[in-house]
Structure 1
Amino acid sequence: LGRMPRPKYIIGITGTNGKTTVSNMVEDVLTQCGYEFTCNRSGTNVATGVASSLIADSTLLGKPKKELAVFELDERSAPRILPYLQPDILLCTNIFRDSYKRNAHVEFIWEILNKYIPASTRLVLNGDDLLCAGLKEGNPRAYFSIDPLPGEDKNENNLVQDPRVCPRCGGALQWEYRRYHHIGRAHCVQCGYGSPQPQYRLTQVDRQRQVMTVQAGGVTGEFPFPNGNIINLYNALSAVALLSEYGLSRQQIAQGMQSLAITESRYTEELVGGRRVIFHLAKGMNPIACSQACANARNAPGKKAVLLFLDDFHEAAHSVENIAWQYDTDLELLNDPSIVQVIEAGPRHWDTYVRLLLAGVPEEKMVHGEDIREAARSLQGEAVDTVVVLYDLYAVDLAQEIRLQLREQLQALPPLPGKEGKNCES
């Protein structure tokens, strides 16, 4: 990477959660606006993937064919990428503890990024994440933030809350509100360090029209979003902030975002016989991502069945025997009156079953087994309005197989009253 000619302008996107979704959003908007660029959308986000993407889009003499590059960057690979790639602008979506195999300690990841982000790189940072907001304090920067929204729980009591004390002096933190985990607004009662004033504020969300209102530079604009859960609102807002900092106008960004959609391997909804079926990537071994997927399952409409396929079924290279991440995951969210059945399947189904019992989920609501297809057949489809399937990153193909199986099962049931013949996909 250090020896290759680089494009004139490089955009980098990193962070624990959301970087793939945001990268896809940014690339789609740039494409809609007529930009040509090099990217690693079809490759990996580590050093080899970035290098191969640059090589593939270079001439025989090694000169880049495009003047612009957009790269999703693995935060753990920062030492092997950032000093050599030298991005002109870098978005960090958030910093959380992640997979126990790689990124289990949030301050460890912060130290890596803070050490290896070049001093010349302009930063676009999540102002609602105290860790993310404190990266590379000497660099030019812009922050994005979401105001408290109507109906939100302003003090979500998640199991994992990093940091619990001021990241600068270790003093006590006083929270104005905590949206989830350590995402929110806080300040230190000892040294005064706290959440920064954002340059990009999401102030309103209209879920009927699927638009969000963003204030920036004293001007208010409306931007479409593809999905209204809080995680994807942050993703959409971060894309708006990054594209604005790059130089696109509000009109260009809003127009480009009209056709955005979440990648099908990460989130899909469809109606089968009037019943809503949601497939939601949950990133097994990542307690933060799994907790938010559980929150989305709880908040889905009507009576629900939740299917948990979070084990590493067939990818031995990604297997892990440490199940501690399940005890950092807010599975207590599934102990909800609106959830009438919980099905868990995979090699460690007994471990998940015990964890759910400790989370308070009634034994009579649960079905568990090793075979995912057999477990899915136990779905009590006639008793629910919505089926939510949470699946692991390495079980996408298996999830597609189960999707077809569930479609057959639900089509064989009498349709929900008043929703006869309703079948559609989005």
Structure 2
Amino acid sequence: MYKKNVRFFFALFMGKLARTMQRMLKMNASYFPGKLAVKLCPDFMGCIDKPKTIITVTGTNGKTTVCNMIIDILEANGYDVLNNRAGSNVNAGVASSLIAGSTLTGKAKKEYAVFEVDERSSKLIYPYVKPTYAVCTNLFRDSIQRNANPEFIFNFINNNMPKESHLILNADDLISSNLGSENEKTYFSINRLPSDREECINLINDMRICPKCHHKLKYNYVRYHHIGKAVCEFCGYTSPEGDYKADVDYENKVITVTHNESREQYPMISNSTFNLYNELTAVTALREFGLTGEQIRNAIQNLNIVESRYSRSTVDGITIVTNMAKGQNPIACSCVFDYVSKEPGNKEVILLLEDIFDRKNSSENMTWIFDTDFEFLNQPNITNIVIGGLRTKDYKLRLMMAGVPEEKIKETTDEAGAYKSLNLDGTDSVYILHDIHENDTALVLRDNLKQYLKEREA
């Protein structure tokens, strides 16, 4: 039990003062106030009062989108929710949110909170902030120099998850579904899709052997990488059954979720498999929280995936799509490439995948591109691929290794002007695939392309 003492109150006062000063200077106050408070009082997050009901969202991919959806739907239904979506998902960011949502005596102003939690930061957050509902979207390979491998991250979360937390887990993910052996769990799952395969065709699958007896797993079907349904024919280990099972109707853009005896329909926000999972994750968490299907459905009708993640528009008969494809993350990129490859019509693709914070001194690790399925971009109806940025030679080499003809590949260091390298004649759609750090550039590029098409049409 953590007790409030002089040290805590001093840290809280200084955190609030730092937050006020940063806001006066129109600076982002989502990280430093919490960092200062934790520095002054290491158990600060344990001492400060928390909202009565807390939902946390972690996982390799989709946690920001799921977190935003949960917050938006709760707020649409009248809930006043403390959150950290305007800033950092590490311990300092959560601490900053708790400072913002507390009185000068450390009392919580709000009853509900939704926090996005970085996987590696779970050991610094969960000992102090014990979620009522802990959501894990999935666990995959990510930035190798930071996250090493999925088992490493699994142990970070599993070893620090409070046993009293109700876990919301992906039954189709054979890694994250094993979290919390002593916790109450609710699973979500998407029933078999037409695009599912009998064997994994991706370069990597991190669940080829049984986690119990280490014999080879047999997949009933594979969706992508290790997502799917599998069984160990030696010991009987199998993928868990979903408590919330979704059937997808692409034609009518509807997701039907079956839970116990109920069948509830929700409008489909996006037809990409990644976002189908994101929507189902949010629905499951909110139904367990206590919202009705009708409350969730009415709110979803007014939701859109944030523009920094995805946008779609049409100018002069050409559809322009921006889609985040996180650099250093082979699974996220592979899934986006697979999605683009299956979209109809003749397509041109612009790649802005650099994950560079400091362009002058960067030594960006490029090994991840050899775990990424660039082979999905080797399609007859992908007529042109433009690569932007400083690492164009690396991406060009990888595309050629994937079988893409060299004449289809163009390079440019002018990322915002990459549209100048498009052909556009006979093109039905242009896909701008960008890293999270290239978001602003991608939106400028999109707007430049739209303006060019309007002028061409005139």
Q: What is the rounded CA distance, in whole Å, between the counterparts of 2:397 and 2:226 in structure 1?
A: 27
- Any idea what SS the aligned residue of 1:20 has? helix
Q: What is the rounded CA distance, in whole Å, between the counterparts of 1:151 and 1:330 in structure 2?
A: 17
Q: Report what 2:49 is aligned to.
A: 5
Q: Report what 1:105 is aligned to.
A: 149
Q: What is the rounded CA distance, in whole Å, between the counterparts of 1:18 and 1:78 in structure 2?
A: 16
Q: Report if aligned partners of 2:417, 2:445 keep a CA contact under 8 Å in 1.
A: no
The structural deviation recorded for 1:321 is 2.8
The structural deviation recorded for 1:92 is 0.5
Q: What is the rounded CA distance, in whole Å, between the counterparts of 2:362 and 2:73 in structure 1?
A: 36
1:347 lines up with 2:425 in the alignment: no
Q: What is the rounded CA distance, in whole Å, between the counterparts of 2:276 and 2:163 in structure 1?
A: 29
The structural deviation recorded for 1:83 is 1.0
Q: Report what 1:188 is aligned to.
A: 232
Match of 1:292 among 318, 322, 335: 335
Q: What is the rounded CA distance, in whole Å, between the counterparts of 2:224 and 2:449 in structure 1?
A: 32
- Any idea what SS the aligned residue of 2:231 has? strand
1:281 lines up with 2:319 in the alignment: no
Deviation sequence 1:369-417 (CA, Å, 0-9, x none): 33324543111012311000001110111112111221123224459xx
The structural deviation recorded for 1:317 is 9.6
Deviation sequence 1:35-58 (CA, Å, 0-9, x none): 112111112111011110111011
Match of 1:261 among 284, 289, 304: 304
Which protein has the larger Cα radius of gyration, Structure 1 or Structure 2? Answer: 2
Q: What is the rounded CA distance, in whole Å, between the counterparts of 2:269 and 2:143 in structure 1?
A: 27
- Any idea what SS the aligned residue of 2:47 has? coil
- Any idea what SS the aligned residue of 2:443 has? helix
Q: What is the rounded CA distance, in whole Å, between the counterparts of 1:313 and 1:48 in structure 2?
A: 23
Q: TM-score, normalised by structure 1?
A: 0.94
Q: Report what 2:268 is aligned to.
A: 225
Q: Report if aligned partners of 1:300, 1:386 keep a CA contact under 8 Å in 2.
A: no
Map 1:152-191 → 2, pairs under 5 A: 152-191=196-235
Q: Report if aligned partners of 1:5, 1:62 keep a CA contact under 8 Å in 2.
A: yes
1:129 lines up with 2:167 in the alignment: no
Q: Report if aligned partners of 2:356, 2:364 keep a CA contact under 8 Å in 1.
A: no
Q: What is the rounded CA distance, in whole Å, between the counterparts of 1:68 and 1:79 in structure 2?
A: 22
Q: Report if aligned partners of 1:38, 1:53 keep a CA contact under 8 Å in 2.
A: yes
Match of 2:410 among 367, 376, 381: 367
Q: Report if aligned partners of 1:225, 1:260 keep a CA contact under 8 Å in 2.
A: no
1:18 lines up with 2:62 in the alignment: yes
Q: Report what 1:424 is aligned to.
A: none
Q: Report what 2:25 is aligned to.
A: none
Q: Report if aligned partners of 1:155, 1:179 keep a CA contact under 8 Å in 2.
A: no
Give the letter aligned to residue 157 of structure 1: I
1:303 lines up with 2:346 in the alignment: yes
Q: Report what 2:194 is aligned to.
A: 150
Q: What is the rounded CA distance, in whole Å, between the counterparts of 2:314 and 2:361 in structure 1?
A: 33
The structural deviation recorded for 1:171 is 1.2
Q: Report what 2:366 is aligned to.
A: 323
- Any idea what SS the aligned residue of 2:146 has? coil
Give the letter aligned to residue 226 of structure 1: I
Q: Report if aligned partners of 1:7, 1:69 keep a CA contact under 8 Å in 2.
A: yes
Give the letter aligned to residue 2 of structure 1: G
The change in CA–CA distance for 1:189 and 1:152 in structure 2 (over 3 A counts) is closer
Q: Which has the higher contact order (CA 8 A, sep 6+)?
A: 1
The structural deviation recorded for 1:298 is 1.2
Deviation sequence 1:337-370 (CA, Å, 0-9, x none): 1100011121110111011000000111111133
- Any idea what SS the aligned residue of 1:240 has? helix
The change in CA–CA distance for 1:370 and 1:210 in structure 2 (over 3 A counts) is same
Q: What is the rounded CA distance, in whole Å, between the counterparts of 2:360 and 2:213 in structure 1?
A: 40
1:404 lines up with 2:450 in the alignment: no
Give the letter aligned to residue 229 of structure 1: S
Gaps of 5+ in 1: 416-426
Q: What is the rounded CA distance, in whole Å, between the counterparts of 1:50 and 1:176 in structure 2?
A: 40
1:46 lines up with 2:90 in the alignment: yes
Q: Report what 2:136 is aligned to.
A: 92
Q: What is the rounded CA distance, in whole Å, between the counterparts of 1:40 and 1:285 in structure 2?
A: 24
Aligned length in residues: 414
What is the alpha-carbon root mean square deviation over aligned residues?
1.6
Give the letter aligned to residue 363 of structure 1: E
Between 160-169 and 345-354, the greater mean CA deviation after superposition = 160-169
Q: What is the rounded CA distance, in whole Å, between the counterparts of 2:105 and 2:266 in structure 1?
A: 42
The structural deviation recorded for 1:247 is 1.1
The structural deviation recorded for 1:148 is 0.8
Q: Report if aligned partners of 1:348, 1:370 keep a CA contact under 8 Å in 2.
A: no
The structural deviation recorded for 1:125 is 0.3
Q: Report what 1:418 is aligned to.
A: none
Q: What is the rounded CA distance, in whole Å, between the counterparts of 1:209 and 1:167 in structure 2?
A: 39
Give the letter aligned to residue 412 of structure 2: G
Give the letter aligned to residue 250 of structure 2: R
Q: Report if aligned partners of 1:89, 1:121 keep a CA contact under 8 Å in 2.
A: yes
Map 1:18-97 → 2, pairs under 5 A: 18-97=62-141
The structural deviation recorded for 1:179 is 0.1
Between 183-192 and 146-155, the greater mean CA deviation after superposition = 146-155
Give the letter aligned to residue 344 of structure 2: P
Deviation sequence 1:72-99 (CA, Å, 0-9, x none): 1111111000111011110100000111
Gaps of 5+ in 2: 1-44
Q: What is the rounded CA distance, in whole Å, between the counterparts of 2:193 and 2:121 in structure 1?
A: 35
Q: Report what 1:117 is aligned to.
A: 161
Q: What is the rounded CA distance, in whole Å, between the counterparts of 2:259 and 2:443 in structure 1?
A: 41
Q: What is the rounded CA distance, in whole Å, between the counterparts of 2:178 and 2:418 in structure 1?
A: 45
Q: Report if aligned partners of 1:276, 1:387 keep a CA contact under 8 Å in 2.
A: yes
Aligned-residue sequence identity (percent) comes to 45
